[in-house]
Amino acid sequence: MTQVFIVGGAGKIGRRLAQQLHARGHRAPSLHRTPDQAAELQQLGAFPVLGNLLELDEATLAELMASSDVVVFTAGAGGKGGPEMTNAIDGRGLELAVAAARRANVRRFLLVSAFPEAGRGRQVSETFENYMAVKKHADVHLAESDLDWVILRPGTLVDTAGTGRVRAGLAIPYGNVPRDDVAATLVALIETPAVSRVIIELTEGDTPAIEALVPFV
Ligand SMILES: NC(=O)c1ccc[n+]([C@@H]2O[C@H](COP(=O)([O-])OP(=O)(O)OC[C@H]3O[C@@H](n4cnc5c(N)ncnc54)[C@H](OP(=O)(O)O)[C@@H]3O)[C@@H](O)[C@H]2O)c1
C-alpha cells in the first residue's frame, strides 16, 4: 500500500487518480478547497483533506503531507482568474508543494505538466502564453530540486473513456489523451519507483501504461 497525497484532488485527473488508487489498494489523501467536495471524494475512495493553495503555508502543507510516500501535483487554475491565478496555482502553488514535500521528507513527487507543443499552430491568447511559460517554469523548478521527481506532459486532455493504453516517450508527436489514462499512467509511475528524474510525454496509444514505462526503468 502506497499513500499518495494528491494536490488538486477534486480535479478531473485528481478524482480519477484517487479512484484508481483506491481500486488498487493504495491510500489517497486528496487536497481540495471547498467543503462540499468532501462527500464525493470520499465516495471515490479518497481521503478528503481541506486546504487552499492560496492560503496554506509551507509548514502546514508539510504537516498534511507528512505520512505520505508520494505527492502528485495536478492542481491548476484552468484559465480561471487570468494570469494572476495561473501564476498563483500552477506556478507558486507548485513551488509551495515542492517546498512542503522537501520539508515533510516525501521524496517522490510527480507533476502533471503540459506538452510544449500545446497551442502550436494557432493564435494563442496572452493568458495561454503565460500558462505555457508558468508550466515550463514549474518543470524547471521541480527538475532543479533534489526530489525523486517525474514530470508527465500529457497532450490535450479528453473525457472519453480510457483504454489503459498510452504512448509514452521522451519526445513523441502531439495528440490527445483521456484523463483516465493520465491517471492510469500516474498509478503506473507510483508502482514503478525506479522511473525517476525524467520528463515523459504522453498521448493515447497502444501500450498498457505499465509496459509503456519499461524503457524508463
Ligand atoms: N486541459 C488540457 O488539455 C491539459 C493538457 C495538459 C496538462 N493540463 C494540466 O493538467 C492538470 C490537471 O487537469 P484537470 O483536467 O484535472 O484540471 P482541473 O479539473 O481543473 O483540476 C485542477 C484542480 O486544481 C484545483 N485548484 C485550483 N485552485 C486551487 C487552490 N487555490 N487550492 C487548491 N486547489 C486548487 C481545482 O480545484 P476546484 O476543483 O475547487 O476548482 C481543481 O480541482 C492542470 O494542471 C492542467 O494545467 C491540462
48 lines ligand 1 (CB under 6 A): no
User: Which atom of ligand 1 is closest in space to residue 55's alpha carbon?
Assistant: 31
Backbone angles phi, psi at 135, to 5 degrees: -60, -45
Residue 192 is predicted with a pLDDT of 98
89 lines ligand 1 (CB under 6 A): yes
Residue 117 is predicted with a pLDDT of 82
Kindly give the distance from the C-alpha atom of residue 203 to the centroid of ligand 1, in angstroms, as a whole number.
18
Kindly give the distance from the C-alpha atom of residue 149 to the centroid of ligand 1, in angstroms, as a whole number.
19
Domains present along the chain, CATH in parentheses: 4-216 (3.40.50.720)
Quick check: 147 and 196 in contact, CB under 8 A?
Answer: no
Residue 137 is predicted with a pLDDT of 98
Quick check: 60 and 99 in contact, CB under 8 A?
Answer: no
Quick check: 213 and 207 in contact, CB under 8 A?
Answer: no
pLDDT in tens, 83-120: 999 999 999 999 999 999 999 999 999 999 999 888 88
Measured in whole angstroms, the distance separating CA 96 from the mean position of its chain's CA atoms is: 14
Mean pLDDT of the chain, nearest integer: 97
185 lines ligand 1 (CB under 6 A): no
Kindly give the distance from the C-alpha atom of residue 90 to the centroid of ligand 1, in angstroms, as a whole number.
8
pLDDT in tens, 38-93: 999 999 999 999 999 999 999 999 999 999 999 999 999 998 999 999 999 999 99
105 lines ligand 1 (CB under 6 A): no
Provide, rounded to the nearest whole percent, the portion of the chain with pLDDT above 90: 94
Quick check: 53 and 94 in contact, CB under 8 A?
Answer: no
Residue 35 is predicted with a pLDDT of 98
What the block records as the C-alpha cell of 210 is 505499465
Average pLDDT over residues 166-179: 97
pLDDT exceeds cutoff 90 at 181: yes
Kindly give the distance from the C-alpha atom of residue 205 to the centroid of ligand 1, in angstroms, as a whole number.
23
11 lines ligand 1 (CB under 6 A): yes
Report the alpha-carbon distance of residue 82 to residue 194 in Å, rounded: 38
157 lines ligand 1 (CB under 6 A): yes
Kindly give the distance from the C-alpha atom of residue 7 to the centroid of ligand 1, in angstroms, as a whole number.
9
Closest residue (by CA) to atom 24 of ligand 1?
75
Residue 10 is predicted with a pLDDT of 98
Helix ranges restricted to H, the chain:
12-23, 38-44, 58-65, 82-86, 94-104, 126-143, 179-190, 209-212
For the chain, the C-alpha Rg in angstroms (whole number) is: 16
pTM: 0.98
